[in-house]
Amino acid sequence: MYETTYHKAGNVAEAASLLAAAEDGQLLAGGQTLIPTMKARLAAPSDLVDISGASDMRGITVNVSAVTIGAMMTHAEVAANADLFAICPALSNLAARIGDPAVRNRGTLGGSLANNDPAADYPAAMLSLDATVVTNTREIAADAFFTGLFETALAEGEIITGVSFTAPGKAAYQKFPNPASRYAMCGVFVSVGPSGPRVAVTGAGADGVFRATEIETALQAKLDPHAIDKVSLDAKAMLSDLHGDGAYRANLVKVMTKRAVAALD
């Protein structure tokens, strides 16, 4: 069992060097997953690097349709940003429905992406929006970033500093929340950009967030809820757990997709 040392980083570079120096270091962003996980395992990392004071990981900029969001922006801050709401309300609404007010005041975009919980909301948005995840060393396309359950393309010690994407013409997110945790039992983010519809699903896939390519093809032909009536989803590819089986989730994916398409804004 470790004893933990607590550090505070003022910027990304400082965080990176503190992390590099630690035996088993861990970034502390909003702590809404990390702290309960530490409690549940009754173990702790050797070093905690608190990045809440990292000023270069904050802010939201909207330049025509180019959007960047700092990794340390909380869900509440993302939800409340007027510039973002004006150009991509679907993402604002997504952020406004994560967890409860206390979670939204602490949880961060970067933390959510780095953790890649298979039922988290943001990964679906990033994948659908074809976003770029910016780290202290490189830029990673969302399609390459999410690699499996709680797995990402991040290297050891690599830190997400923010994301960037081009706001789509239309987008919508529909989620069926788990009634207890408010994580998605199924969340579908649909966006329609220059290259056509991109549909990303969270909470339902057996391997975590995924792009529903058959649905995209159907929507490419006709952007209408009924366009996906004939799409059949393999229940075996869906998550089956105590909250619902694969068939139930496969049904939810179609229902949520239809509602998202109907709500495109």
Residue numbers of the site for another protein (CB under 8 A)? 1, 3-6, 8, 28, 31-32, 35-36, 38-40, 42, 44, 48, 50, 52, 76, 99-103, 105-106, 176, 178-181, 242-245, 248, 251-252, 255
Strand-pair category, 139-141 with 132-135 = antiparallel
User: For residue 19, how many other CB atoms are within 10 A of its CB?
Assistant: 21
Looking at beta carbons only, is 61 or 251 nearer to another protein?
Answer: 251
Looking at beta carbons only, is 76 or 160 nearer to another protein?
Answer: 76
| Least distance CB 21 / another protein (angstroms) | 16
The contacts of residue 205 (CB under 8 Å, 6+ apart) are 118, 237, 238, 239
Looking at beta carbons only, is 89 or 99 nearer to another protein?
Answer: 99
Calculate helix-pair angle for 246-262, 213-221, nearest 10 degrees. Answer: 30
| Least distance CB 121 / another protein (angstroms) | 15
Looking at beta carbons only, is 6 or 64 nearer to another protein?
Answer: 6
Q: Please give the angle made by the CA atoms of 107, 183 and 191, to the nearest 5 degrees.
A: 90
| Rounded-to-5 percentages of helix, strand, coil across the chain | 35, 30, 35
Per-residue tokens: 22: 């630690």
Looking at beta carbons only, is 82 or 242 nearer to another protein?
Answer: 242
The contacts of residue 198 (CB under 8 Å, 6+ apart) are 127, 128, 129, 130, 190, 191, 192, 211, 216
| Least distance CB 118 / another protein (angstroms) | 14
Looking at beta carbons only, is 119 or 133 nearer to another protein?
Answer: 119
Which residue has tokens 């900029």? 61
| Least distance CB 253 / another protein (angstroms) | 11
* DSSP code for 250: H
| Least distance CB 36 / another protein (angstroms) | 4
Looking at beta carbons only, is 41 or 64 nearer to another protein?
Answer: 41
| Least distance CB 15 / another protein (angstroms) | 15
Task: Output the CA–CA distances (angstroms, integers) from residue 236 to 122, 207, 247, 248, 249, in the order listed.
Answer: 24, 11, 8, 11, 10
| Least distance CB 165 / another protein (angstroms) | 27
